[in-house]
Structure 1
Amino acid sequence: MTSSAIARSTRHIIWDWNGTLLDDNDAVVAAVNKVCAAFGCEHIDLERWRAVFGRPLHRSYEHVLGRALGEHDWTRIEKLYHDAYRELLPTCGLAHGVPEKLRAWIDSGRTQSLLSMWFHDELVPLVETFGLNALFTRIDGLRAEIGGGSKADCLTEHVTVLGIDPAETVLIGDVADDAHAAERVGADCVLLTTGVMARPALEATGFPVVDSITEALETVEAEAAA
């Protein structure tokens, strides 16, 4: 369902991780710049990355690197990026409002889960380091050796395993992929401007776009009270 408002009967929130609950923009840009350096290109800043970021991801890198990318190039980029990002992960913190706002949602008698496209075996212990695991009914990351893939497929499985009603569910994320995935399964979506996608691209999805975790939950609550 694509609209400027969301359903009034929200009982469950599915949270994205990177760029949503985890403030990792500095790590992302630094990791992208490791790729740029390896390919002999100038460094970029967050605004430049937001301007070119989209799917498929290799096209974003083609814009930044100024060249077409073959399979070997993409394999190299994947390794360069993920190695650099992993090294910088310990410097990342939680978004403002986490975990307080998430605890308040649970205290209201409703539920929430976490779905990320970061690697599952690394995601779960990372979430645990912040003491958040108990706040989620389920945590799912990417169960593959290579990043990317379809979030819609992962969301479909996540919703099925949880046994929740998509009509009573809101996905809160930071990129258009989150909106497309939510639309695929029949859930609603709220998008944050705190990640790596520019506001116009988020607004083009037709879903509500906000600037913080607090605003995202206020959007959900406002519709529930309407």
Structure 2
Amino acid sequence: MTSLATRVPRHIVWDWNGTLLSDNHAVVEAVNVVCTAFERDHIDIDEWRSLFGRPLQKCYERLLRRSLDEQDWARIDVLYHNAYRDLLHSCRLADGVPNLLADWAGTGRSQSLLSMWFHDELVPLVSSMGLDGYFSRVDGLREDLGGGSKAEHLVRHMDALELDPRDVVLIGDVLDDAHAAQRAGTDCVLLTTGVMSRTALEEAGCPVVDSISEALARIDGRTG
């Protein structure tokens, strides 16, 4: 991975859920729908952060304290995503968005969006929030079942934009973002605003900050 201390990125690949979109409450409520269906007590964001990890099926096995077969996992996927969709209307943009996106664009540098949310739903959602004009490309998950790795998606995303990985930084909120960046040869800055604790995020060895404004400052070398 390149060093933010010696090379200033020209392009940001933004994550969506937990990064540009503040959706922790919707995530936890959707997880609790799964808990109800599997007769498990409800949890809060702190407990979900203590359990969250990849692969997601193993994460849910820890949550539900049982092994899950293919039928169970398909059921969980439907329960979670249907509940989350019902709550999307209550989610807001992260603090400073879209002004911070406009500030970055104003420097003549580019940005794009890569999410593991379903592509056919992501594109109109981003447009409805007035953000589509800031991104040179928006990519979401094109498979029917969620929960896979982000690394291959990031490589395809950058290839489509003809980006040099050394000019790119990924801003996300989970270790999967850092792992994807490492495999793709890009930098990464992680936010504590999502579903993983700072302690877990720091395992990645990349900068961990508490807000998008701090992430942008770190990219431009304005903080330590």
CA deviation after TM superposition for structure 1 residue 25, in Å: 0.2
Post-superposition Cα deviations, 1:7-49, rounded to whole Å, max 9, x if no partner, equal 5231000000000000000000000000000111100000000
Unaligned residue ranges in structure 1 (runs of 5+): none
2:154 partner letter: L
Separation of aligned partners in 2, 1:9 and 1:55: 30
Separation of aligned partners in 2, 1:6 and 1:216: 13
The residue that corresponds to 2:130 in the other structure is 131
Contact 1:120/1:140 (8 A) holds in 2? yes
**Aligned in 2, Cα 1:119/1:6: closer, same or farther, shift over 3 Å?**
farther
The normalised TM-score by structure 1 is 0.96
Post-superposition Cα deviations, 1:85-130, rounded to whole Å, max 9, x if no partner, equal 0000011000001000110000001000000000000000000111
Provide the secondary structure at the position in 2 that maps to 1:219: helix
The residue that corresponds to 1:13 in the other structure is 12
**Aligned in 2, Cα 1:43/1:128: closer, same or farther, shift over 3 Å?**
same
Contact 1:6/1:189 (8 A) holds in 2? no
The residue that corresponds to 2:191 in the other structure is 192
2:164 partner letter: D
Contact 2:2/2:185 (8 A) holds in 1? no
Post-superposition Cα deviations, 1:167-202, rounded to whole Å, max 9, x if no partner, equal 011000000010011111110000000000111111
Give me the CA root mean square deviation.
1.5
The residue that corresponds to 2:62 in the other structure is 63
**Aligned in 2, Cα 1:7/1:47: closer, same or farther, shift over 3 Å?**
farther
**Aligned in 2, Cα 1:6/1:192: closer, same or farther, shift over 3 Å?**
farther
1:85 partner letter: Y
The residue that corresponds to 2:200 in the other structure is 201
Contact 2:192/2:210 (8 A) holds in 1? yes
1:9-48 pair list within 5 angstroms: 9-48=8-47
The normalised TM-score by structure 2 is 0.97
The residue that corresponds to 1:178 in the other structure is 177
2:7 partner letter: R
Provide the secondary structure at the position in 2 that maps to 1:104: helix
Judge which range, 19-28 or 56-65, deviates more.
Answer: 56-65
Separation of aligned partners in 1, 2:196 and 2:124: 26
Provide the secondary structure at the position in 1 that maps to 2:220: helix
Contact 1:194/1:212 (8 A) holds in 2? yes
**Aligned in 2, Cα 1:194/1:6: closer, same or farther, shift over 3 Å?**
farther
The residue that corresponds to 1:214 in the other structure is 213
Contact 2:8/2:220 (8 A) holds in 1? no
Runs (4+) of structure 1 moved beyond 3 Å? none
Separation of aligned partners in 2, 1:66 and 1:98: 38
Separation of aligned partners in 1, 2:208 and 2:149: 22
Post-superposition Cα deviations, 1:138-174, rounded to whole Å, max 9, x if no partner, equal 0000011111222100000000000011101100000
Unaligned residue ranges in structure 2 (runs of 5+): none
The residue that corresponds to 1:94 in the other structure is 93
Contact 1:19/1:25 (8 A) holds in 2? yes
Separation of aligned partners in 2, 1:10 and 1:39: 45
Separation of aligned partners in 1, 2:81 and 2:69: 18
Provide the secondary structure at the position in 1 that maps to 2:204: coil
The residue that corresponds to 1:168 in the other structure is 167
Q: How many residues align?
A: 224
> Identity, % of aligned pairs?
62
